[in-house]
Chain A
Amino acid sequence: MKMNLLGNGAIAMGAIAAGVKFAAGYPGTPSTEILETLKSSEYSKNIHIEWSANEKAAVEAGAGAAYSGMRTLVTMKQVGLNVASDPVMCLAYIGIKGGMVIAVADDPGPISSQTEQDTRSFGAYAHLTVLDPSSPEEAYKMTKYAFELSEKIGRPVILRPTTKVCHASATVDVSDEIHDYTPEGFVKDPKWVIFPPLSYKRHIENFKMYNSIASEKCKYNNVETVPDTDKGIVTGGVTTAIVTDVLESLGVKVNRLTIGRPYPFPVSETEIFAETAKDILVLEELEPFIEENLQRLIKTPLKGKYSEHVPAAGELKYENIESIICGFLGLQTPETPSAKLNVTLPTRAPVLCAGCPHRASFYAVKLASKGKKAVYCGDIGCYTLGNAKPLETTDTCLCMGGGITVAQGIKTSNPDTDVFAFTGDSTFFASGMTGVANAVYNKHNITICILDNRTTAMTGGQPHPGTGVTITGEETVHIDIAKVLTALDVGFVKECNPFDLENAVKTVTEAALYNGVSAIVFKAPCIAVSKKPCTYEVSDCIGCKRCINELGCPAISLSSGKAVIDPVMCYGCGICETVCKPGKIHKIGGVRS
């Protein structure tokens, strides 16, 4: 059946065809839609699907299922692999029984990530096969193949799509056949227990096995030789697809080596390619992974990132690739006539939504710390956007859950400063709780602000352990954050509604004065999981711009010097009404509970 699928959807459909029975992951752009597609499919009832508390939990739970013979899919974004790296590294030694595919989405650019790390390098480091699809169609086929390969070699396989495969759609031929099998169940065996002598043995086995796979041909590596030229281009991932379009439009043919299985790096395909190709350009995003491996196998100096023919970082777009290829082939880069921008356009950076409760929480903390020395340690989520003007309440952001712990070091080295750590509810469960234990245990005098908006907002609104529902919509326990904080012996724990500004400021002031670890749970839902109660409008604005300068709500703009509220965008949070000292902002319709 022909289906238009996002790359992520194609991976989900590939996993279904392969007979996946256990699927777990933690949301992260650009990987999130894999599990979401799985959940919405008609086959979902035969699969255990879960949003795990974090990526490490997902891999470990997945390992248990795969030990028992279930075909298992685990999904995450590249930085999630850092969180899961402990079980993944060990699993490369222990191995699995049921095929296990770890789908890790990389993000060249980066577009929505903290780093531009390259999972191909991680695969080589861990000794795990890496498959790198160039399109949604290929992602579909590769996913099925990844399960088969994993089962055959008894090791997990990493599938590494990048953003431009995950979030591109194509018409994919999806088969109705589903691999049918009965998992054997867990069979006790000393091989499931990692011990130094076993690890030593496995290290040798792995080295030999991947070395021999490197020499086996793989249908996802491709060589095309053109006898009348010695020019050759090597590519992987989406760059392969773009290079095909570029060469077609230039009307030229060169020798090509396409790497769909970057680790173990293909030896025989490289040999065939190098017989004809003597002047070689390597085009790839992220790390010079292909380049380094190719240079290990062939003597000719390559043109790539080290020779500065290809940029070290960022995405490779059509225009970049075209000009690099033209330079390489000694051709004039074609001039495509197109409109030249002749107006100065304002940039449009992402912002907290109109009505976002985080705006109110940040504003309350800002008011409470006015005139005092204060540092605001942020974290990963929509609330990282608290860094922008006019709120400017995010001074640091490092990694998931890092805000709470970074705050502790800052407080120690700046004892005269009030230090606030901001963490979202999903981030708190993913990797914030350990930081709280550290703060309590080591007596760090900080204030933790949990922005509890009842969803994992940045990735599009996934449930988490604090929401009371699972990915499939089934009801479950709702873990109470304030109770967790109290159980961790945080001395001051209070919940408050950030939209009740006066009370919120009072609570923050108390918390900051508390000597020891204090915590405030700001409770108000994300606009994506709540109903719009009403809208607000401005009448007889005196043009003081206080609402704009204090809040930066995107629904409020200036027209002829007066504030106006866009009625469609306004989400009726009412915070601007509180901020408008002259009292010119009013509610229209509805009731705000």
Chain B
Amino acid sequence: MNILICGVGGQGTILASKILAESAVIDGSDVARTGETIGMSQRGGSVVSHVRTEKTSSPYIPKGQADLIIAFEKCEAARCLPFLKPSGKAVVSMSEIKPVAVSLGVMAYDSKAMEDYIKSAAESIFLDTDTLAAPFMDGKCTNTLLLGAAFGMGFINISENAIKKAMEKLIKPRFLDVNIKAFEAGIKAVSG
């Protein structure tokens, strides 16, 4: 699978990508690769993580080849859509983080147009993560919640057991429980 995780620097996208790579290997994949954005962009810029769970030489997903986009912010979801396959899926947080230039009136943030565009280009599901993730450490578990939603939709072909094992390995013990709960809340949010 080719999965693209995108958001705004500081939102915790890297943990989500690590969990996916780790769980793919637990499930028997030979090589999982990720390509991260680490550096200046982490200060509130656009960040993208590429995750590839099948054998390739490079970690970077070419345009039009992602099976799934997990977006932590609406505008960033729209920005990454050219990476998605025509039949691709998208799990998108409704959260709107307006760049400072938008608040200053230098640029526009057209939320409706972004949403329409995402709906036209992907089999997408939108989640109100601001509300859904609030009970879990003040929204700090948005990443595991979104993973849960993507898993709950059947968009990730990795087992639940492997994902949880990967979380155990990668998350500090004192934060593990709340993250598992957030993951489960993500599954629940999309079921039924």
Pick from B30, B97, B98: contact of A171, CB under 8 Å: B30
Pick from A169, A245, A318, A346: contact of B75, CB under 8 Å: A346
Chain A neighbourhood of B97, CB < 8 A = 554, 566, 569
* Residue interface bits A362-392, CB-to-B below 8 A is 1, else 0: 0000000000000000000010010011100
Interface assignment of A575: CB less than 8 Å from any CB of chain B:
no
* Contacting pair A347 B78 (CB below 8 A): no
- Interface positions of B from 141 to 177, Cβ below 8 Å from A: none
Complex CA–CA separation, A436 to B34 (angstroms)? 44
CB distance from B90 to the nearest CB of A (A): 10
* Contacting pair A348 B35 (CB below 8 A): no
Interface assignment of A340: CB less than 8 Å from any CB of chain B:
yes
* Contacting pair A318 B59 (CB below 8 A): no
* Contacting pair B110 A344 (CB below 8 A): yes
Complex CA–CA separation, A2 to B169 (angstroms)? 14
Chain B neighbourhood of A338, CB < 8 A = 63-64, 81-86
CB distance from A48 to the nearest CB of B (A): 26
* Contacting pair B108 A344 (CB below 8 A): yes
Interface assignment of A124: CB less than 8 Å from any CB of chain B:
no
Interface assignment of B33: CB less than 8 Å from any CB of chain A:
yes
Interface assignment of B132: CB less than 8 Å from any CB of chain A:
no
Interface assignment of B9: CB less than 8 Å from any CB of chain A:
yes
- Interface positions of B from 100 to 122, Cβ below 8 Å from A: 100-110, 113-114, 117, 120-122
Interface size class of A (residues with CB under 8 A): 35 or more
Q: Given contacts A4-B22, A319-B63, A348-B8, is CB(A557)–CB(B78) below 8 Å? A: no
Q: Of A322, A347, A566, which is in contact with the most chain B CB atoms at under 10 Å from its CB?
A: A347
CB distance from B142 to the nearest CB of A (A): 9
Interface assignment of A399: CB less than 8 Å from any CB of chain B:
no
CB distance from A380 to the nearest CB of B (A): 11
Interface assignment of A307: CB less than 8 Å from any CB of chain B:
no
Pick from B21, B39, B81, B108: contact of A112, CB under 8 Å: B39
Q: Given contacts A169-B59, A346-B107, A347-B101, is CB(A382)–CB(B43) below 8 Å? A: yes
How many cross-chain pairs have Cβ atoms below 8 Å apart between A and B? Answer: 190
Complex CA–CA separation, A351 to B9 (angstroms)? 10
Complex CA–CA separation, A4 to B22 (angstroms)? 7
CB distance from B26 to the nearest CB of A (A): 10
Interface assignment of B191: CB less than 8 Å from any CB of chain A:
no
Complex CA–CA separation, A112 to B40 (angstroms)? 6
Interface assignment of A349: CB less than 8 Å from any CB of chain B:
yes
* Residue interface bits B56-73, CB-to-A below 8 A is 1, else 0: 111110111100000000
Complex CA–CA separation, A458 to B40 (angstroms)? 7
* Contacting pair B36 A169 (CB below 8 A): yes
Chain B neighbourhood of A240, CB < 8 A = 57
Q: Of B37, B39, B98, B101, which is in contact with the most chain A CB atoms at under 10 Å from its CB?
A: B39
A528 and chain B: residue at smallest CB distance: B10
CB distance from A316 to the nearest CB of B (A): 11
Q: Given contacts A343-B110, A350-B40, is CB(A548)–CB(B103) below 8 Å? A: yes
29 chain-A/chain-B pairs, Cβ below 8 angstroms: A4-B22, A4-B34, A30-B38, A33-B38, A135-B58, A163-B39, A167-B36, A167-B39, A169-B21, A169-B36, A171-B29, A244-B58, A245-B56, A248-B57, A336-B62, A338-B82, A338-B83, A339-B82, A339-B121, A339-B122, A346-B99, A347-B99, A347-B101, A348-B44, A348-B99, A349-B45, A351-B100, A353-B10, A552-B103
Chain B interface residues toward A at CB < 8 A = 8-10, 18, 21-22, 25, 29-46, 56-60, 62-65, 75-76, 78-79, 81-86, 97-110, 113-114, 117, 120-122, 130, 138-139
Given contacts A338-B83, A350-B42, 18 further A-B contacts (CB under 8 A): A4-B32, A111-B41, A167-B35, A168-B33, A170-B32, A242-B60, A317-B60, A336-B65, A338-B85, A339-B82, A341-B78, A341-B79, A345-B78, A346-B102, A350-B41, A353-B10, A460-B38, A554-B44
